[in-house]
Amino acid sequence: MKKNKMKMLRKIFFKKRIPAILFFFILLNNVNGQTAMINFQSRNLASLNGDWNVIIDPTGIGEWRQVWLEKKPQKKTDFFEYSFEGGPVLKVPGDFNSQMRELAYFEGTVWYKKQFHYTVKKDKRLFLYFGAVNYMADVFLNGEKIGSHEGGFTPFQFEITDKVKDGVNAVIVKVNNTRQENGLPGLGYDWFNYGGITRDVALIETGNTFIEDYYIQLKKGSLNTVLGRVQLNGREAEQKVEIKIPELNLLYKTRTNEQGVAKLEFSSNFERWSPENPKLYKIIIKSETDSVWDDIGFRSIEVQGDKVLLNGKPIFLKAVNIHEENPYKAARAYSKEDAALLLNAAKELGCNLVRLVHYPHSENMIKEAEKMGLMVWSELPVYQHIQFADSSVPSKMEGMLNEMIRRDKNRCGIIVWSLSNETYPSTTNRDKALVELTKKCKVLDSSRLIVHVTNSQRYANNTFEMADTLYKYSDLVSINEYIGWYIPWQGKPSDTKWKLAYPDKPVFISEFGGEALYGSNYGPADEAAYWTEGYQEKIYIDQLEMFNTIPNLSGVCPWLLFDYRSSGRMHPVYQKGYNRKGLLSERGDKKKAWYIIKKYFGKK
Ligand code: GCU
């Protein structure tokens, strides 16, 4: 998008000789969403959730009509072929596809409008915060464009202190979920492309200098020393800062420097967070002009040789893949209730880890998982066919990485940053881009495991050969394999052989499984074409057999918890637009394979 816009602007500029100043004014106006302040829920906020007026714009003509100006007739001959008044209303947060039948499969532009009242105060700043908008968001305030954001799964904000009016204001958001070839994800992905303002929207009022960011987690490899920082935003950069943990009677004092940054290092006899004991401490971060509180846990996670260690002890990762979809509503999940629904099922299955695929899920999901004692695997939508040769892609990846880690770095529940999924084949562009991304991730946060998920293995003569170039940059050898479904067994599962290029690294089966339509008995259970539970169950039985042959196996993660929507799954009887590899149907029915895994996790 940005590249075409630039090409168009350059053409106008050079052809029509538009004055340079105007050119730069347009550039300035194309401001990217700012990286959001963290922990918005504990801020002084006014929610803009609720009903928003919308204009559905299948042709995209709204851009040409300049919908954001909301022109009104001035004289008798005037008329304008759009208006927010009298049109449909959509709920925010929420995807638009599940809210209106005519939008069921819609990929295009929907214009959203919300009015709010504000009293301007001279010593206050104001921010417009979005939890997530899928995919492209162009944001306008009172008819003026304030910026854009690309990417459907991470937060962004705009400072509107100098733009907001005393009294009634109107926010208009042009939301477009059209797939982008050089997007993240790209054109093809096996999940439903829910569009809309899918997470919270809020006005956040702060003082002139506020606590923008902080990082309070254990130092890598330590069990009781915190190494962190606090970042202030505003003119009064140098301030006293206190970190208070009342339950531990801990009060740590420090100062920010002229950049508003304070480094933190303090120790305490923390009760460490673990699935058995998901201990969180209420922490107050206080400066002279602001204070925020958070519930933070402390745990160490690392790889030592072929083992994954949590708090210094080896742990087997009993995981399941989860898409951010409320199966009962067939809608994008976002609320605490949605999170509890999905996570309770994972708990019931016996999991200690949830792989949240293939994009950062909502803060509600991460925080609920942490409270429930579920470790979290958070992943970027660098999924399968990514245009690594496109010069805009690396900065998009980096932008999403920054936003993901910034929002969630204080969540001790998160143990893995997963930077890509199935980006095979290995090309120079791919490897260069992903190696760079890995380095950036390490700079941002080296206290967690960093992983690239692969499916590049060779499986011949009942032997797996693992040699992806990305393993070198990955803390786990993470494999997606669908032996028994997409690929038939080539021998007894219990005789499977393994050739690992990195025999000293832990191996994690990040995806395996097969499809079944709950209750399907349209044909013999030993034939795939009838989507029977018996066929899926057999796949699981065989996979568990094979798991006993894997050296350094540190965990397994069935694909996946619930059947979920994916438009490419088109069999009219067995799939109906659903990927049916769930252990649970979209109504929560337990398939036979569910009991196989539950028993397996129960023994582990
Ligand atoms: C892939 C991929 C998933 C996909 C699954 C499947 O491995 O990572 O996103 O849904 O296979 O084919 O069902």
Binning pLDDT at 50, 70 and 90, where does residue 13 land?
Answer: very low
| Mean pLDDT calculated for residue range 233-250 | 98
pLDDT of residue 14: 47
What ranges in 276-427 are assigned the alpha helix state H? 336-349, 363-372, 393-408
Q: Does the structure show a pLDDT above 50 at 421?
A: yes
pLDDT of residue 31: 60
- Residue nearest atom 4 in ligand 1 by C-alpha distance: 190
At 459-476, the pLDDT tens digits run 999 999 999 999 999 999
Which residue in 351, 344, 400 sits closest to 377, CA to CA? 351
The share of the chain scoring above pLDDT 90, in percent, equals 92
pLDDT of residue 16: 46
Which residue in 408, 338, 403, 331 sits closest to 367, CA to CA? 408
- Does residue 6 sit in helix, strand or coil? helix
Residue with tokens 């204080």: 410
Give 380 Cα–ligand 1 centroid separation in angstroms.
Answer: 15
| CB count in 10 Å sphere of residue 259 | 10
- Residue nearest atom 6 in ligand 1 by C-alpha distance: 190
At 172-184, the pLDDT tens digits run 999 999 999 999 9
Q: Does the structure show a pLDDT above 50 at 1?
A: no
- Residue nearest atom 2 in ligand 1 by C-alpha distance: 190
Give 190 Cα–ligand 1 centroid separation in angstroms.
Answer: 6
d(CA 582, CA 191): 13
d(CA 544, CA 93): 40
Q: Which atom of ligand 1 is nearest to the CA of 189?
A: 9
* Total count of residues recorded for the chain: 604
| Mean pLDDT calculated for residue range 571-581 | 97
- As for ligand 1, residues whose beta carbon falls within 6 Å of it are 190, 358, 421-422, 455, 480, 511, 559, 579, 581
| Mean pLDDT calculated for residue range 42-56 | 98
Interior/surface letters 433-462, b for 16+ CB within 10 angstroms, e for the rest: bbeebbebbeebbebbbbbbbbbbbeeeeb
Name the strands in the sheet holding 301-304, side by side, starting at the edge strand that comes first in the sequence: 301-304, 307-310, 313-314
Contact 157, 34 (CB under 8 A): yes
| Mean pLDDT calculated for residue range 247-265 | 98
Q: Which atom of ligand 1 is nearest to the CA of 486?
A: 12
Give 506 Cα–ligand 1 centroid separation in angstroms.
Answer: 22
- Residue nearest atom 10 in ligand 1 by C-alpha distance: 190
At 548-573, the pLDDT tens digits run 999 999 999 999 999 999 999 999 99
Q: Does the structure show a pLDDT above 90 at 10?
A: no
d(CA 491, CA 231): 57
Give 186 Cα–ligand 1 centroid separation in angstroms.
Answer: 15
| Mean pLDDT calculated for residue range 49-68 | 98
Q: Does the structure show a pLDDT above 80 at 348?
A: yes
Q: Which atom of ligand 1 is nearest to the CA of 422?
A: 8
Six-digit token pair at 563?
Answer: 């059947």
- Does residue 211 sit in helix, strand or coil? strand
Give 104 Cα–ligand 1 centroid separation in angstroms.
Answer: 23
d(CA 400, CA 381): 9
Largest CA-CA distance found in the chain, in angstroms, rounded:
84
d(CA 405, CA 378): 9
d(CA 317, CA 335): 26
